[in-house]
Structure 1
């Protein structure tokens, strides 16, 4: 009796079997990754830190996060109110000045993207002089130590009143105001250890008064050194972090990126 040859399966049936096996494998893998994701603990701190680095790498923030900002990202807590950039620095500087300087001799102004620490010249310099007083150096050193923990740009502005200088060797108030600003800059960089790349100095003579030059008291207010802290870069970082915490999304060049947690939110 002749031996019966095994019946070959149609090609379409073989392809269906392969498709079913592939689909089953994908379902198993999908279930496996869903299980892993459900077991994972979502670390928002790392996500925010990574977000800052990604934004910096793509050029949304200059140079990515600094070491100080990375430490801040590691200690992110749920926001309890409006964020105030460089609040800690300003509070520490205010404490230093309150303990070492007469309250009428300094002022601190807060803006949206910058803060100004204003010191009257009598605290820092002799009358019409440009050399820092020895008793002013501890105050400036304490301020420098506080500013070492940040990386935002600092502008030093020298201001005078409307009277010409009474000391020989100075041509005009432009010279006096510029030399005083440079003296503070050199102290911060040479003795205070601040990065010179953060610092700029300008002299405004008597052309940027904060009070009318009509009395000795007002003239004393106008003779000052302003330390301008530009925190606009940090403000951008905080805005990105706040937006990320709110909707876990960031924008880049027209593309919207959203991160999903374990609950799909």
Structure 2
């Protein structure tokens, strides 16, 4: 009688082989990841020092322990003698004028950079004043504030010139265009100094009436172009005043204590 074949024993633990292989591969994966992510501290320090040296080529001085107060003329804290400061300030002034020109009421303002390094900003009279008046419009104050900040940053002599057309004016306040042009220039100077902190020693006001027209006064358009205030930021810094203080930057005698009528000055409004 033939022997019965023994039934083959089924192995239910074959999954352990696959599991062991999976664990081995997972362990190898983490070993590789750790070896890749491990930082060489010496190389990291070398790279870090190189980056610091590239970004800060000049060692910073130790901060002073003395307390200081920021005055009301914040732009004056910028040193005007650092290399490149003037170019940066001129670029900011150029960008500021362009931004103001995008507004309809300031569209006719013009900025010219001369070959001698001076900057001429031409402001039509209707931007600053009403016809035949010298009281500054309140809406012109933001523009003058921006100019004042540029003047403080540049630390240069500034000449403000008033110009009119050839139409005569005869009023109790302004007997001629000379008084009108000069008073307008003085008002702009006083706003720059008294409201926005431009040093008085940096400023001069001149009135030219209709003696320096840009075009012929043949029609209303030409006359409107000639009625203007020019703010000229000169290339040279202010020279020292005489010891007795008898002359202003233009060499004209000063008359301290003389007050302009209050109705000529604009209302003081906060600029945000």
TM-score > 0.5, shorter chain as reference: yes
Residue 107 (structure 1) aligned with residue 79 (structure 2): no
TM-superposed deviation, 1:103: 5.8
Distance verdict in 2 for CA 1:84–1:143, change over 3 Å: closer
Kindly indicate whether the alpha-carbon contact (under 8 Å) linking 2:163 and 2:209 is maintained by their aligned counterparts in 1: yes
Partner of 1:174: 178
Instruction: Provide the residue aligned with 2:200 in structure 1.
Output: 196
- What's 2:101 paired with? 98
Could you tell me how far 1:157 is from its partner in structure 2? Answer: 0.2
Q: Are 2:101 and 2:108, in contact at CA under 8 Å, matched by a contact in 1? A: no
1: CA distance between counterparts of 2:170 and 2:142?
28
Give the conservation status (yes or no) of the 8 Å contact 1:96–1:142: no
The answer on whether the counterparts of 1:156 and 1:202 sit within 8 Å (CA) in structure 2 is: yes
1:131 is matched with: 135
TM-score by length of 1: 0.56
Equivalent position of 1:68 in the other structure: 79
- Larger strand share, 1 or 2: 1
1:163 aligns with 2:167: yes
Identify the residue that residue 15 of structure 2 maps to in structure 1: none
Is 1:146 matched with 2:146?
no
Shift of 1:233: 5.0
Match of 2:91 in 1: 88
Please report how far the alpha carbon of residue 91 of structure 1 lies from its aligned counterpart in structure 2 after TM superposition. Answer: 1.3
TM-score normalized by the length of structure 2: 0.54
Structure with greater helix share of residues: 1
5+ residue gaps, structure 1: 1-40, 47-65, 77-82, 235-265
1:120 aligns with 2:124: yes
Measure how far apart 1:190 and its partner are: 0.3
**1:228 aligned onto 2:232:** yes
- Aligned CA-pair RMSD: 3.2
User: Deviations along 1:182-229, whole A, 9 cap, x unmatched?
Assistant: 000000000011111110010000000001101101101100000001
Structure 2: unaligned runs, 5 residues or longer: 1-52, 59-76, 239-272
CA distance in 1, matches of 2:126, 2:177: 16
Whose radius of gyration is greater, 1 or 2? 2
Q: Is the 8 A contact 1:86 1:231 kept in 2?
A: no
